[in-house]
Amino acid sequence: MKASYSKSSGKLELITYDTNKDRKVDAWSHMDGTRLVSMDIDRNFDGSVDRWEYYAADGSLEKVGMSRAGDGKVDAWAFQGADGQVARMDVDSDHDGNVDTWETYANGALASVELDTDRDGKPDRRLTYGPSGVKAEKIQ
């Protein structure tokens, strides 16, 4: 573990970790003094960040970015609900930098998916998952 401090204010800015003890940093905790702001994590120890965590002022986890493609670039954001489970996931399925799939979860299960099939930045199709199957509808 190594801590870095601001030269001007003296506040803690960064803590780096080698979680698997291979002598390579794989976790970076970005700090504002004693408050954790965000973390960058290389979960599979390949030298590339594949998880980004962002924290609110009260210390709660706001959102988690993931590199589902494994290329070191965020292509999905997960947001947790009050129960601590994933409530929503925003996905850039074609890796163009824009969200085009919005997934909503209920009780830990996929409840609906909204898609931006015409690439205008807004969902235009919705798939709803329920006990009787999948319902598809066009969004006006």
Cα–Cα distances (Å) from 132 to 28, 85, 98, 129, in that order, read 45, 24, 32, 8
- Domain layout of the chain by residue ranges: 1-55, 75-140
Alpha-carbon distance of 105 to 89, in angstroms, equals 8
Alpha-carbon distance of 69 to 3, in angstroms, equals 31
Q: pLDDT in tens for each of the 140 residues of the chain?
A: 999 999 999 999 999 999 999 999 999 999 999 999 999 999 999 999 999 999 999 999 999 999 988 888 999 999 999 888 999 999 999 999 999 999 999 988 999 999 999 999 999 999 999 988 999 999 97
CB count within 10 Å of CB 10 equals: 9
Identify the pLDDT of residue 91.
Answer: 96
Identify the pLDDT of residue 48.
Answer: 93
pTM score > 0.75 for this model?
Answer: yes
How large is the C-alpha radius of gyration of the chain? 18
